[in-house]
Amino acid sequence: MFVYLVLLFTILPAVELALLIKIGSNIGLGNTLFIIIFTGVLGAYLARLQGFLVLKKIQNDLNRGVMPNDQLIDGLMILVGGVVLLTPGFITDTIGFLLLIPWARALIKKWSRKKFEEMIAREQIVTFTPFNRADNHYDDIDI
């Protein structure tokens, strides 16, 4: 897991920067900046639109007494997609737009569900607890 985070926060920005420089040298600084700003604005609009649609589905499910599991995952994916689209770069923009497209989200959810099931079967799931001590209790603090 740590390796993936290192790749995410070091390699991806370096590749994004190299790609921005390469594309900027081919189409010009102004056009590159326009694309970056346009994808950010379009991504924010699409995230807002998709977010409201998912929120409506969540409310409908809750009104019917059904737990909105898939819609909550969709909401998280839309949030991540919107944030990723606000970061400049063509790779992150592609990932962000994929997270905002409903059919692509469905494929990503199916793939990630399969990966989690495989991790559970291999007992590779890591759980985090708020307890730091072996006796697993909180200390009371009197004010």
What is the pLDDT at residue 140?
54
Task: Count CB-CB contacts under 10 A for residue 42.
Answer: 15
**Residue 45, domain member (yes or no):** yes
Q: With respect to residue 142, please indicate whether it lies within any of the assigned structural domains.
A: no
Pick 129 or 48 by higher pLDDT: 48
Token readout for 73 is: 């995952």
Kindly report, residue by residue over 54-90, the tens digit of the pLDDT: 999 999 999 999 888 889 999 999 999 999 998 888 9
Q: Could you give the maximum distance between any two Cα atoms of the chain, in Å?
A: 65
For residue 89, give its domain range: 2-121
Within-domain flag for 137: no
In a domain, 51, yes or no: yes
Mean pLDDT score, 8-26: 91
Say if residue 132's pLDDT is above 60.
no
pTM: 0.75
Q: How confident is the model at residue 53 (pLDDT cuts 50, 70, 90)?
A: very high
Q: Tokens for 12?
A: 């991806």
In terms of pLDDT, which residue wins out, 132 or 117? 117
- Total structural domains within the chain: 1
Closest C-alpha to 82, from 94, 97, 102, 103: 97
* Predicted confidence (pLDDT) at residue 98 exceeds the cutoff of 90: yes
Q: Which two tokens stand for residue 69?
A: 């599991």
The answer to whether position 11 is within a domain reads yes
CA distance 80 to 95: 10
Give residue-wise pLDDT tens across range 110-125.
Answer: 998 898 888 878 877 6
Residue 130 has pLDDT above 80, yes or no: no
**131 located within any domain:** no
